[in-house]
Chains A and B, each alone.
Chain A
């Protein structure tokens, strides 16, 4: 890690008068349709320090950006406010724009009047315009106090890590390796290949799956730039973009990789067999074996659970000496610049749904099991036979949407089931042409190249498509199945008899997704899959810089889509790996050594709350915070009992200014909201994007983490008369982007709430909520709820409570010097 560049604030002389330019964006009709832009412009002109106000049709477009640059030059602006969309959308765009015009990029502030105002308060109401004005007012209050900052620079480790060796991970690794970067490909199972290796054919071309994937698996293993670390888990990740430190735990195979030739003689002599999970437990494997013959790396492994230690394999292996019963798990530490997550999905097995009799009736199988039955290398040698009697079924019913599109199970459409059902139907039909095949579907979804043609081909082959929902499956004494289904074309219930049933089950987030999300500090959506940074413009980027998602771990997708994303992440990673240096946002915490009492009182509060171990200091010295490891959550800032720490770009001074601006008028009617950047702010943005309408009371202050929300902020808001205070955070326990910021916030705010309630405040006036980036609807509902609460309480009651509490607030805040002594 390099020496840190000292933050350079010299180019901004103290006391220079702010000269602010305000740029109000129409965003077509997205903002202008709801908010009176002319009013905003007139309002902005009257504000102190504002020297120019410009309205743009699209500020983010080239002409809009040019106007900003021109105005900076013409009016000698030293501060810029753009009132437009969410900063999560275009803050980087505008920062770059002002930087190009010679202004420090941290002297820019964005007023979010689209997602947080025009989109969520539709109808051309005066309240929306009023709210937009106040949002601009808050931005102006902050922008006046902004300090120019310099980004930190660190050298980049130009190696990459890919987690997950399915087809997406393989392509990510191959492409990065071909660009010349060294790649570690970590796979949890014994072999790379993922689900694609289990499939028989692929839709819609009916290519043999392993025949096209196998060579790629071998290529990945042979590429000198790729190191495949199979049978291993990522257990810890530290660091930041360009400089990740990763710990990998490699499970013992009890067979030495470098000595094993993959001949398989050991498996021949092994007396023990156990169900093969890779074969969906349809067949068995030996206690020393590979899950499938094409495994890469082709190294056998011993399952100690089942091995009886007869050492017949050792005897047979002989002078090759590959078997080592003493092998222990190995910890591997690596340093990489980027991480690609390609952990894929799991197949749902509907044991919990008694309607389908899965696991009870022998002739009901899932589609993945049917895939293994159709596969010539599978346990039945490619014969689709019934488990009950070993005969070919004369009729097969394939039931769609098992688990998918079901509000009681998985709300989403799994996307690939329609196509694999058609594929399996065609394969069975080709194998045994006299088999009657029914596909019972809700909607056939055959978009994408060649899919509709494939669907037609199935219909022409004589496969029967029935539109309806399977209600229940019953079994008769011959183990044939009777499917009670609601035929939605006929509008009546019909019985369908079939000798075998294939359930097209959903895909779901793979086991361990939550664990990995915790290790990487990335968020997951309500569906459990990893959540991308932006659904449209950063679909393969994680919210953490330098981490990317490829394939089904981000949401279910088919093979070509996964391959594209794998290659896509390679391109994204190369944007980091190809550079010598990476820049880090300077929004770190800084200690004022004058105020820090570490030396005298042995206070260790900041060290206790920091999950990264950034605050350090000798016993007789004040604390210093290492900016390289500080992630900028601000939890220590809020918890410091001496107010000795401040966060750059989110200083106490700036936040108090925002609070005061927001509550300057009619404070009792307003909600003061502190939203964490990663979950709740994104959730609020999503409420806007989804056009969920809610009342206009909330005034939002964006903080990087809910851990930054100081109790004094709540005091000040209530002292100024706020109707309510809302703190929005990531879900507990593991969603916090900074590991534990929300935990400390919860502790702090719940204690505060208790004491305020004791002093006579209505409990609901301080609300703590956990809203993920995917929960726009929940955010809107909370806003409606709080609106109702304030309405029911009434302004008089709120005033009365605030009056009662005011002396307490004034005493505390004036003692700390936040407000003048009265």
Chain B
């Protein structure tokens, strides 16, 4: 039987499927959650994801790219779902969520780290909830009688740290899972162009005097801005490291190379080696200097 591929765009969702006689693979992209960044496209080993430019909105603002998936190339191992900062991609097998690349330890999970020390919260404070760009923090503020409850959908946390910046009492700790830098060469920017600022999912680019300025503190290095930038060399996004659960996998190094650079991979391998050496030395029970 020829393989039945399936593709549907409906209710703000892109569905791509492979229907075999007893196995139904389904990949769903939630268009609302997808912010049009480039991470899944870079990480996908089969190259089945592409970015599609979107027309400007009626008020002249740029809109983020969307992704498209070649249904006949997808193997449903879920690497795209793992790297999506916004958790916009879901993969199911016969209706049940499935991430074989994680299950078989072929790919690591990203470390999304959010902690809130609720003892530091002030009465009635909901600053973090209001600051969250993705509306994933729900706060039951502290009252005189009870402690605050801070609830976050950690799967969707992209690590922009808006909440951290907004917290008046330093109660929140968030670590970015991607390190890097975003630079804008204003001299190369076209006149009055604000496309990158328009599409930034975490408002990490601001317009100052008609020029775009990146805010490193908030940037998650997702590259959505880069995809809409009309001027070559005006905007560079460089990723240097990705924080993830421990892994030994060729697929991960390949993905990492595309997400960062060969240097990024070298750095990670060096770090691993140092860690291993240290562990080995420690396990030898060598007396420390001075003991």
Candidates A284, A310, A366, A379; contact of B249 at CB < 8 Å = A310
- Chain B residue nearest to A366 in the complex (CB): B1
Contacts of A380 in B (CB 8 A): 21-22
The interface bits of chain A over 306-317 (1 if a CB of B lies within 8 angstroms of the residue's CB, else 0) are 101111100100
- Please indicate the chain B residues that have their CB under 8 angstroms from the CB of A525 in the complex: none
Among B21, B79, B101, B252, point to the contact of A379 (Cβ < 8 A): B21
Instruction: Kindly state whether residue A235 has any CB partner on chain B within 8 Å.
Output: no
Listed A/B pairs (10) with beta-carbon separation below 8 Å: A272-B77, A275-B3, A281-B2, A308-B251, A308-B254, A309-B254, A312-B104, A359-B1, A380-B21, A387-B22
Judge whether B2 and A310 touch: CB under 8 Å. Answer: no
Complex CA gap A445/B8 in Å reads 46
Interface of chain A: mostly helix, strand, loop or mixed: loop
Q: How far is the CB of B97 from chain A (nearest CB, A)?
A: 15
A75 within 8 A of B: no
Kindly list chain A residues whose C-beta atoms are within 8 Å of the C-beta of B2: 281, 349, 351, 359
Residues of B within 8 A of A308 (CB): 45-46, 75, 77, 79, 101, 106, 251, 254
* Chain B residue at minimal CB-CB distance from A386: B21
Beta-carbon contacts under 8 Å, B1-42 to A: 1-4, 18-23
Task: Evaluate contact between A284 and B23: CB separation under 8 angstroms.
Answer: yes
Which A residues are in CB contact (< 8 Å) with B18? 275
B252 pairs with A310, CB closer than 8 A: yes
Q: Does B164 contact A (CB under 8 A)?
A: no
Q: Which residues from chain A contact B1 at a C-beta distance below 8 Å? A: 280-282, 349, 359, 365-366, 369
In whole Å, how far is B160's beta carbon from the nearest beta carbon of chain A? 29
**Interface of A with B (CB < 8 Å)?**
269-275, 280-284, 306, 308-312, 315, 349, 351, 359, 365-366, 369, 373, 379-380, 387, 390
Q: Report how many A-B pairs have Cβ atoms within 8 Å.
A: 86
CB-CB nearest in chain B for A364: B1
Binding site for A on B (CB under 8 A): 1-4, 18-23, 45-46, 75, 77, 79, 100-101, 103-107, 248-252, 254
Q: A271–B20 contact, CB under 8 A?
A: no
Describe B's contact surface by its main secondary structure. Answer: loop
User: In the complex, which residue of chain A has the Cβ closest to the Cβ of B99?
Assistant: A271
Q: A349–B250 Cα gap in the complex (Å)?
A: 39
Give every chain B residue within 8 A of A283 (Cβ-Cβ): 20-23
15 new A-B contacts, CB < 8 A, other than A274-B75, A281-B2, A387-B21, are: A273-B100, A275-B18, A282-B1, A282-B21, A283-B21, A283-B23, A284-B23, A308-B45, A309-B254, A311-B251, A351-B2, A359-B4, A369-B1, A379-B20, A380-B21
Alpha-carbon distance A379/B252, docked complex (angstroms) = 31
- Chain B residues with CB under 8 Å of A280's CB are 1
**CB neighbours of A272 from chain B (8 A):** 75, 77, 100
Residue pair B20, A281 in contact (C-beta under 8 Å)? yes
User: Whole-angstrom distance between the alpha carbons of A310 and B106 in the complex?
Assistant: 6
Contact A271 B101 (CB under 8 A): yes
CB closest chain-A residue, reference B78:
A271
**Distance in angstroms between the alpha carbons of A304 and B254 in the assembled complex:** 15
Q: How far is the CA of A270 from the CA of B18 in the complex (A)?
A: 19
Docked CA distance A283–B252 (Å):
27
Chain B residues within 8 Å of A284, by CB:
20, 23
Rounded to whole angstroms, the CA-CA distance of A315 and B104 in the bound complex is: 12
Q: Chain A contacts of B105 at CB under 8 A?
A: 269, 312
Partner among B20, B101, B103, B250 whose Cβ is within 8 Å of the Cβ of A311: B250
Give Cα distance in the complex from A193 to B77, angstroms.
31
- Chain B residues, CB < 8 A from A306: 46, 75
A315 touches B23 (CB 8 A): no
Asked whether B103 lies within 8 Å of A271 as measured between CB atoms, the reply is yes
Which chain A residue shows the least CB distance to B104?
A: A271
CB distance from B83 to the nearest CB of A (A): 13
Residues of A close to B4: CB separation below 8 A: 359
